[in-house]
Amino acid sequence: MAPFEPAALPELLPVFYRRLFPHGAYGRWLGYGGVEKNYFQLREFSFTLRDDVYVRFQSFGSPQELEKELQRTNPYKIDIGAVYSHRPNQHNTVHLGAFQPVEKELVFDIDMTDYDDVRTCCSSADICSKCWTLMTIAVRVIDRALVEDLGMKHRLWVYSGRRGVHCWVCDDAVRKWSPALRAAAVEYLSLVKGGAETVKKVNLSEPVHPFIRRSVSVVEKYFEAYALQGQDILGSPERWDKVLALVPEEHRELLQSEFPKKRDSVQRWELLKGRMERTRRLASSGKGTACYADWEVMLQYCFPRLDINVSKGIGHLLKSPFSVHPKTGRISVPLDVQRLDDFDPFAVPTISSLCQELDAAGDDTEQEDGEETEPKRRMRDYRRTQLAPYVKAFEQFVEEMERGRRVERLRRSDLQGEF
Amino acid sequence: MEFSSRARQRHLKLAGDRREPYPHSLQFYQEPPTESISLAEFESFAVDRLRLLKVVENLGVSYVKSGDAYKTKLEAELRKLKFPYRALAEDDYDARRKDHISHFILRLAYCQSEELRRWFLQQEMDLFRYRFHELTDSLRQKFLDHVNLSFEAISEDLKNELSNELYMSTPGLSMSKVKEQMFYKVGLSDAVDLFRARRVFIKDGFAFVPLKDIDAIVLNNYRKSLSKALALTARSLPSIQSDERLQPLLNHLSHSYVGPDYSVQKNTGKISLEHIDALSVKSFPLCMRQLHKALRENHHLRHGGRMQYGLFLKGIGLTLEQALEFWKKEFIKGKVDADKFDKGYAYSIRHNYGKEGKRTDYTPYSCMKIIMSNPPSQGDYHGCPFRHSDPELLKQKLQSYKVPPSGVTQILELVKGMHYQLACQKYFELTHDVDDIGFSLNHPNQYFAESQRILSGGREVKKEPNHLGNSQQKNNSQESVNSNSAPTSSNTTTDAELEGLEAYFTED
């Protein structure tokens, strides 16, 4: 497979938008079953075109119109915005103040650069298989909370294309949430606080909220492999000093002197953890105060870091699923939450690899009937490529929502009671 | 007013059982009153409630709201004005009825603009919060049941199942308390503040809130419904305003000043013209100091400024002769010749003193009037500097008047919070070097009178080491000073309940 060259995009994008982009499922997603009038028509899209030309407030009369426009302009990047009070492409005809964002999915953006202070393997835009685990942990922690605590059902997790993940929560009620409620959700989900000047970013005290307990148990499953072995956070005096800086003074000295005697990070962690657990045991029988430094370290090194600004505003634009990342060429594909541990960001197809696959499969088309329709041909096209499982996952997500709407319709008509 | 059958039922009930319609000392004001009342009662109820809300405003900025000083003072005011003051379980019918009716009347007056709505909402919220907290646990429970907020209490079984999580999630509750207290299942949007701070247990999109935290939620509900109600009322206002009996009263209430009117000039003739410059620096409130300065600099003031300043001068004791001399001397230095002055401006000054035309003796403007009516435009110097000046310019002005930087910051904070009169009070405190102004500032002439009292040694000046936030000490110093300074003649106090309606109409 030839590596991706950004310069090739102008040739590759037309193929992508004609033969690979899942227009059908995409339109069904954003139409939300046509339950609310003009929902699709009031949605803002923004495109980044060639030469960094950025256009906002694009809107379309139907998914078919959107498809045609994508195939006409071949944008480098697609962003999805809010559903507005008026058609976004006519916003100039509405007087100031009347044109307002009304609804949007609740979105989250988790970016690997926000973890630079706790990654030893990479920094800024780089990622590797070692630190990708942070994303796995983030998805698991957040998704659990979204489902169990916040009662959300329809979540679409997407790989951003380079160094992070996005989540789109599409429940009907949630799309109507106010900015205040969205901000509150982010605050509820935040445990790591402080910027460059703050050394200790996680501080726990009793009583410890169930959200924290449950998140710690998720992190715990990955901690040994990721932090102790992969990142080796207690592997050298330099590294373990950073960790000990997060532990209260009264325990630091002892750990400082014992650590060199231990063989590796795993052993050192056992020591630290054991000591903390002991304080908690004593505290519960009335002796002394409980210390949660082991949890605090785990959380500071692994707990998800959310950007509140992305989630708070209803009008905020976020990269669309199945958009191409202009620098890496990778497609923003949905993540399968059930098989999260198997996900490899480096195995995600790039637009060039997909086009190559199409070329290779091209010979077979000779045998096909020349009268087939466009959508059918496209369906077979993506199936010949590595994009197939991702499109399938997306379609399942959309079907799940459609099923939910049918159930709701039945429920409501039952309530109305036909006699 | 329309009569629904429910209202008719209530009407009948009123005749029989007096307690029924008002089973609790507080309410959500969801049903408007449907009885008939006299115009006099209409007015007096409204004015009393307005007084109450102003006290709520003042106390709210001067004291910690949950503190004892706040509570005692507010209770005292409620008693004085005959509103329900304790969560009395027994018959408090008259006070509750007054509470009910006066709230709805003020809604009519205060729904008219964003600023008025915001003010009204804030004070009513604070009042409600105080009353809700004063309820005993059992009364609170009864109130919630009565009001039927759609918060379902969770079953004992569910509570037992969740007891551990509830205990871990709710700070301040011991395990035993968890077992005895009622928990309510509340939607996330109703419990935003608890949810965002993780001070409540949430599951499947619902928050499980204990009784002790339910007040924040109740308050939030109250705010939302009152806000909506005010917006609705504003829409139906045109039809109400067409009622001739109500219109002047309602307009008046939202601009109303409820205190002495300074039309009685105790100090008539005691001010000499040579002193005015010095007085303007020492004893004038900022608005009048500004007007005086502009007059001296430009040798002229426009109509709005002449009215505001001229009436103020009358209120501090300038006689008609002095006023004519004062204005003439100044205007002549400008573009006006003596003749023109006598023909035009002099007439208007005499008018103010009640010597021309209808011969009404006009009253000096109150703070409320200055703040709320006739905003200044380019070339005007009237209005309230705390309300109408650009904050940057205000800051510069205060700095040039040698107000200490910390004081300037405090004043700007109050201005930002739209507490203009309190900002002026702070200005008073800083320029007179007192910790506590000792009165509620409502009128520029009151400012002047109080200032003169201090400067002539007529009032004790107490200085405490830490000025901010020590409500206990504030309490002590309050006792030694009259909190409501009023002129001595008693006949003006009753007349001064509302600024003269006539005067109000013809002054502009």
Looking at CA atoms only, how far is residue B197 from chain A in angstroms? 6
The answer to whether A282 touches A70, Cβ cutoff 8 Å, is no
**A209 touching B, CB under 8 A?**
yes
**Is the Cβ pair A210, B206 closer than 8 Å?**
no
Nearest to A300 by CA among A224, A201, A226, A213: A201
Closest CA to B435 of B389, B368, B481: B481
Q: Residues of B marked as binding for [4Fe-4S] cluster?
A: 287, 367, 384, 424
Q: How far apart are CA A225 and CA A7, in angstroms?
A: 39
Chain A residues inside the 8 Å CB shell of B196? 183-185, 187-188
Whole-number pLDDT of residue B94: 85
CB contact under 8 A, A209 and B203: no
Size of interface A-B (CB pairs under 8 A): 51
Helix axes B320-333, B303-316, angle to 10 degrees: 140
CB contact (8 A) between residue B167 and residue A211: no
What distance in Å separates residue B164's CA from the closest CA in chain A? Answer: 9
Q: Is A188 on the interface with B (CB under 8 A)?
A: yes
B208 close to A (CB below 8 A): no
pLDDT of residue B468: 37
Tell me the mean pLDDT in the region B210-223: 83
Instruction: Tell me which residue has tokens 């492999």.
Output: A225
CATH number belonging to domain B39-145: 1.20.930.80
> B156 Cβ partners below 8 Å, 6+ apart?
none
Task: ipTM value, please give it.
Answer: 0.89
Tens of pLDDT, residues B324-375: 999 999 999 888 888 888 888 888 888 888 777 766 667 889 898 898 888 8
For residue A207, say if its preceding peptide bond is cis, omega within 30 degrees of 0. Answer: yes
Give the residue carrying structure tokens 């909370």: A145
In chain A, the N- to C-terminal Cα span, in Å, equals 65
**pLDDT number for residue A374:** 64
B202 φ, ψ (degrees, to nearest 5): -125, 145
Of B405, B473, B485, nearest in space to B441 by CA: B485
Task: Provide Rg for chain A, Cα atoms.
Answer: 25
Contact between B291 and B278 under an 8 Å Cβ cutoff? The reply is no
pLDDT for the residue B257: 56
Phi then psi for B455, rounded to 5 degrees?
-70, -25
In chain B, the percentage of residues whose pLDDT exceeds 70 is: 81
| Extents of the domains making up chain B | 39-145, 148-215, 273-456
Enter the pTM of the model: 0.66
Q: Do B203 and A149 touch (CB under 8 A)?
A: yes
SS (H, E, C) chain A: CCCCCHHHHHHHHHHHHHHHCCHHHHHHHHHHHHCCCCCCCCEEEEEECHHHCEEEEECCCCHHHHHHHHHHHCCCEEEEEEEECCCHHHHHHCCCCCCCEEECCEEEEEEHHHHHHHCCCCCCCCCCCCCCHHHHHHHHHHHHHHHHHCCCCCEEEEECCCCEEEEEECCHHHHCCCHHHHHHHHHHCCCCCCCCCCCCCCCCCCCCCHHHHHHHHHHHHHHHHHHHHHCCCCCCHHHHHHHHCCCCHHHHHHHHHHHHHCCCHHHHHHHHHHHHHHHHHHHHCCCCCCCCHHHHHHHHHHCCCECHHHHHCCCCCEECCCCECCCCCEECCECCHHHHHHCCHHHCCEHHHHHHHHHHHHHHHHHCCCCCCHHHHHHHHHHCCCCHHHHHHHHHHHHHHHHHHHHHHHHHHHHHCCC
Between CA A242 and CA A253, with CA A248 as vertex, the angle to 5 degrees is 75
Question: In sequence order, which residues have a C-beta less than 8 Å from that of residue A217 and are 6 or more positions away?
Answer: none
| CA angle centred on A44, ends A38 and A45, rounded to 5° | 125
Using the Cβ of B198 and the Cβ atoms of chain A, whether some distance falls under 8 Å is answered with yes
Please indicate whether, in this complex, the C-beta atoms of B189 and A177 are within 8 angstroms of each other: yes
Question: Which of B167, B189, B203 is facing A148, going by the closest CB pair?
Answer: B203
- Cβ-defined contact of B168 to A187 (cutoff 8 Å): no
- Distance, in angstroms, between B64 CA and closest chain A CA? 26
> What's the rounded Cα separation, in Å, for the pair B163 and B157?
10
Chain B interface disruption, residue of A147, A176, A178, A188, most B CBs within 10 A: A188
Tell me the angle at which helices B39-62 and B420-432 cross, rounded to the nearest 10 degrees. Answer: 50
Please tell me which residue of chain B has the smallest CA distance to A206. B168
> What mean pLDDT is predicted for residues B127-143?
81
Tell me the chain B residues in contact with residue A207 when contact means C-beta distances shorter than 8 Å: 167-171
Give the rounded distance of the alpha carbon of B501 from its chain centre. 20
| Alpha-carbon gap, residue B25 to B84, rounded angstroms | 6
B449-493 per-position pLDDT tens digit: 889 888 887 655 444 433 333 333 333 333 333 333 333 233 233
Task: Please give, rounded to a whole number of angstroms, the shortest distance from the CA of B162 to a CA of chain A.
Answer: 11
Q: Are B418 and B369 in contact (CB under 8 A)?
A: no
Q: What pairs with residue B243 in β-bridges?
A: none
Could you tell me if A45 and A78 are in contact, meaning their C-beta atoms sit under 8 angstroms apart?
Answer: yes
Nearest CA in chain A to B171: A207
DSSP assignment letter at B434 = -
Average pLDDT of chain A?
91
Annotated catalytic residue A5: no
> What confidence tens digit (pLDDT) does each residue in B48-86 have?
898 899 888 888 777 777 788 888 888 888 888 888 877
d(CA A269, CA A248): 15
Q: What is the pLDDT of residue B43?
A: 86
Q: State whether residue A150 sits within 8 Å of chain B by CB.
A: yes
Interatomic CA distance for residues B324 and A407, integer angstroms: 84
A342 belongs to the catalytic site: no
Residue A326 and residue A351: Cα distance in Å, rounded?
Answer: 10
Q: How far apart are CA B159 and CA A29, in angstroms?
A: 39
Provide the 8-state DSSP code for B175. H
Candidates A103, A105, A111, A294; catalytic one? A111
Query: Which segments of chain A have a pLDDT < 70?
Result: 1-2, 362-380, 418-419
The dihedrals phi and psi of A47, each to the nearest 5 degrees, come to: -120, 140
A44 classed as catalytic: yes
Q: Would you call A308 an interface residue with chain B, using a CB distance cutoff of 8 Å?
A: no
Per the CB < 8 A criterion, the answer to whether A166 and A157 are in contact is: yes
Q: Do B171 and A207 touch (CB under 8 A)?
A: yes
pLDDT of residue B501: 32
Residue A237, Cα to own-chain centre: how many angstroms? Answer: 35
Q: Which amino acid is at A45?
A: F
The closest of B78, B126, B81, B69 to B478, measured between CA atoms, is B69
Q: Are B428 and B451 in contact (CB under 8 A)?
A: yes
Average of per-residue pLDDT across B9-36: 67
Residue B207 pLDDT: 94
Closest Cα to residue B132, out of B26, B251, B19, B59?
A: B26
